[in-house]
Structure formats: C-alpha cells, structure tokens
Structure 1
C-alpha cells in the first residue's frame, strides 16, 4: 500500500509563513505515514491577488506579484531541507533562464532530488497578464510511481490528463488556487457553482483515464479571491476517497496502485479502447464551433 495526501491551506507573499505551513503539513504527513504529499498551486509565495481584466501585471502591481524563483534557487532548497525524504509536489512562480520570463509552475521533489517540473499550459481569466504559458506535459518516475503534474485550469481540458495517462502516469497531481465564482457566489461555498465544477473535473479526469488523482487547493482568501479548498484523493473509478471540503487540512488515503490498476483496467480499459483513427479532425476544429466536423472528416 502507498499512502498519499493532498493539502488545502492558505499561502501568501510571506515566505516564512509559507515555509512554516509546509513544515507543519510535512510533520502531519510523516505522522500518518504519507509517502507522497501534494501542496497547492503557488504554495511558495502565493497566487495572484485578482483575475480577469483587472488581473495582476508586472506593470501595474509589481508589489503584489508572486516572487519569481529558480528551480535551483534558495527557496526550493529551503523546501527540500524541510521535507527530507518525503516526496511532494508543490507550486510556485518560476523564473526562466532568461531572468525575465515568469511561469506558473510546479515540481515534484524530495529533500535530495527534483524529479521533474511543469509550466502551466492553460491560462484562465487574464492570467497571461502575469505569466507565460508552458507548452507540454510530461510524466516523471518517482519513488511512489509515475507522476504527472498539472495546474488548476488544466483540469478543464481532458487532453491534458489524457496525454499523461498515455505516457504511463499512475498518479496525476492537480495543484490549484481555485476560487469561488466571482458573481452570484453561493452563501455556502460548498454549494458554489465553481466548487461543483472543481469537484466534477477531479472525478471525471480520474475516471476518464483510470488514474489516481490528487487534487490540492488553496483555502481561505487572498486579495479578491475566495478559495474553495476541497483537497481530495480520487481513485481510478472516480470515487472520492477523502476530502477536506472547504476547510484547511489534509486529505489522506492508503491505496494499492498496482492492484487497483489491475482490477480497474482488467475489464473496461479506456486507454486500450480508444479509437484515435476517429479523432483526426480534433485539433483542426475551429474553437468557435463554426467548423463543420463532417467536412473535415471527409477531407
């Protein structure tokens, strides 16, 4: 059995507070025998203070932007000194090699090694005012299995999880700073329509690809954003094994990765039963919906 966990917590611009929160959850994880712990998007330095047409930009809100850090910088090294032999996934703002370009990024690592990193591909609501976008998805071999990384809005795109599942991902870690709806927000955030979408995407992507899905999310508030928490573990059948709901905390589950895969994929195996020959027009379709599928298919 492998013990995996997802964190819901609040992370801001206060790096020392962030490190303390990381240390607290790492200690809790060790006490419960956790082997793989997933922190939210932007756990080092916090997320943007707002989104949409008034989102943070380098020009208009320099002070509110997350600190841009390098994979080989002191911030990541500090996290590694905290976690020791615990394998984690964690989000941060990555400074590219040119010293200027910023990415919304995540890495999977332990105290001695960075197994891989990812730069967010899909950007919502003006996030491109603050970050450049990544261009690919990869899967990394780790002590807990083959792990894929994605960030927040990526979960709305089935292709993002599918390409990693096809590359052998056993676990997909989905790190988020997912807020409640900006308009007509539900009084009870657990009933908010954006909370519903967050949870539905997590279950659907796990079931689509028959993988273990670990969803971490920010909780509390930052700037104009109210986060919905709901960190969770979902099994390859789309079943939620544990969830924090709206609260800060840690969702934990003991899972038999190889045994579950054998059982789930022994009958209906979605990856095996794909029909790529029928999907040819997929990337040629006009995103506005004006292209004619039948015309493209017969071309």
Structure 2
C-alpha cells in the first residue's frame, strides 16, 4: 500500500503499566477515528524511561522500568489493541539474564518486527544491554525499519536500514532537554535543535519517509522535548506535535515521496563504497542489500 495515513504521538509515560496501556489504547482509538494506518508511540511508552542520564552514582535513580518478555502477555495485549493498524512502540525487554531497550511493531494480529537499541548514551548502559544490528522488515504498508533515540545520531544506523530496503524509518525517542544550562522551554533548547536536525538529516540523506515519536513532559530529572513529527523523503516536515502532548497526523503517497526525492539525485544509487574507508562501511558490506526505489509502481483501479 502506497498512500497511507501516519500518526505519531508525544506524551509522558510512567512506571504503571495499566496506566500506560490506557494511554496507548486512547491513542489507538483516536488514530483509528482519523483513519491512521501506521501509528508510532515513543521509546519506553510501556513502563517509562530512565529518570535520569547522569552517573549511576547519582541519587534518585528510582525504581527500574518493568521488564517485559518479547512473547509475553503485554505484547499480546498490544497486538489485540492494534487490530489491523500497524503500531510501533518502545518498552524494556527481558531476555534471559539480559535487558534491552526495545521496540516492537505489531499489526494484523501479529508481531511484524522487533528491534533492540544499539547505541546506549551516558549511563543507559548500566540499565540495558546493547542490541547488535539494524534490519528492515516487510509490512502490509511497505518495508519499515526501526531505531531508538540516540541511534539517529549515527548516520550508519539509518543508512543501514535504507540499504536494507526500508521505505519508512520509525525512530522512537525519550529525548530530553540539555543536561547543563537547559533553555527556559523545550522549543528553545539546544538538544531540541539536535533532535530536529537529526530527524531532517536522516530523512534527507537516505530519501526515506521518517517518523519520529518522542516523549514530552517531565520524568525524574529529565524534561523531554516532544515535537514528534512526520517527514517527507525530501526532509520536509509534514506534521508535528510541538512541545505539547498529542498526536500529529499526515497522509502521503510513500512511493511518490520516494520518487520525488530520488528522481534527480538518488543518494543510495550514487554511493561509491569502493572509495570509502572500509572502517566506514557497515559490516564491510559494499553493496546495496535492496535496490533503491525510484519509479512508483503503476496505479490500478
């Protein structure tokens, strides 16, 4: 499916899973009423993020986020809530003795994709183990890739998903205001500037539709900058929440967006892996894993 309606959420999510599921259910129903087919909610929306990102010796770390099994009842409940809608959401995962900052994509009665955060900022490594790779997956709406928050700082992460054929990249975040000398409001904060800049850069350089969901409000010592958004493959902002809780919605033709962005300069096709330092290549892989999309398929009906 090429023409679709996409929704993205900004809100605060705490430790109580029952409350989190109530929030998620409300957004899914609100999205359904607006015809949304793909809905992105923030990092750690099921159980909340870390209350701070300082040293592990800092006071006030608070109770940890609840750890959910990837095949546990909470994910099954999410599948049921989503119904035919495709929903991407973040949670804390337990896998044996390991803990991951994870994302899951569900829809149509099943789990469509999973991801474990690879890049762990500051003291997040004390709470989570790192994931090991980036892979896109097929859905009824097209091929999607997921990443979490700090991952988008690294061009290789989004590029790896684009090389794996992702047409839409969904980035789930709990991106806060600056830790030192924050601005008076999230909108004027320098970390908000970085958050928005990375979103545009990752969409523009890979010529993919970029969906960025972020928490907003205060949790522990952190104040999240919000501004969840949907970006066209040419980097243009189609819809955004700003710094208030809520949902932004945009309708677009993904095939057309990729065609418009790539018809002149196709960045994926124009890559020169033979000229790059091998240390810059993802896993030493010099070739496209999937050919870059350019021409929209013929319309029928």
Calculate the TM-score normalised by the size of structure 2.
0.90
2:32 match? 30
What is the distance in 2 between the residues matched to 1:264 and 1:84?
32
1:232–1:68 distance in 2 versus 1, CA, 3 Å: same
Show structure 1 runs of 5+ residues with no match.
Answer: 285-299
1:163–1:55 distance in 2 versus 1, CA, 3 Å: farther
Matched, 1:136 2:133: yes
What is the distance in 1 between the residues matched to 2:93 and 2:56?
22
The answer on whether the counterparts of 1:82 and 1:111 sit within 8 Å (CA) in structure 2 is: no
2:50 match? 48
2:84 match? 85
Aligned-pair RMSD on alpha carbons?
A: 1.6
Q: Give how far 1:164 is off.
A: 0.6
Matched, 1:110 2:107: yes
Q: Give how far 1:80 is off.
A: 1.9
Q: Give how far 1:81 is off.
A: 2.1
1:14–1:55 distance in 2 versus 1, CA, 3 Å: farther
4+ aligned runs moved over 4 Å, structure 1: none
2:289 match? none
Q: Give how far 1:54 is off.
A: 3.1
Show structure 2 runs of 5+ residues with no match.
Answer: 282-301
1:56–1:208 distance in 2 versus 1, CA, 3 Å: farther
Aligned with 1:37: secondary structure?
Answer: strand
The answer on whether the counterparts of 1:55 and 1:126 sit within 8 Å (CA) in structure 2 is: no
Q: Deviations over 1:214-258 (max 9, x none)?
A: 000011111111001000001111111111110111111101011
What is the distance in 1 between the residues matched to 2:188 and 2:154?
23
What is the distance in 1 between the residues matched to 2:194 and 2:27?
26
Matched, 1:245 2:247: no
What is the distance in 1 between the residues matched to 2:63 and 2:108?
29
Q: Give how far 1:55 is off.
A: 6.9
The answer on whether the counterparts of 1:4 and 1:252 sit within 8 Å (CA) in structure 2 is: yes
1:156 match? 153
Q: Give how far 1:39 is off.
A: 0.5
What is the distance in 2 between the residues matched to 1:239 and 1:135?
31
What is the distance in 1 between the residues matched to 2:122 and 2:57?
8
1:3 match? 5
Q: Deviations over 1:180-222 (max 9, x none)?
A: 0011110121010000000000000000100000000011111
177, 194, 199: which one pairs with 2:196?
Answer: 199
Q: Give how far 1:283 is off.
A: 4.1
Aligned counterparts, 1:1-299, within 5 A = 1-54=3-56, 64-96=63-95, 98=96, 100-110=97-107, 112-283=109-280
What is the distance in 1 between the residues matched to 2:51 and 2:160?
31
The answer on whether the counterparts of 1:203 and 1:234 sit within 8 Å (CA) in structure 2 is: yes
What is the distance in 1 between the residues matched to 2:94 and 2:28?
25
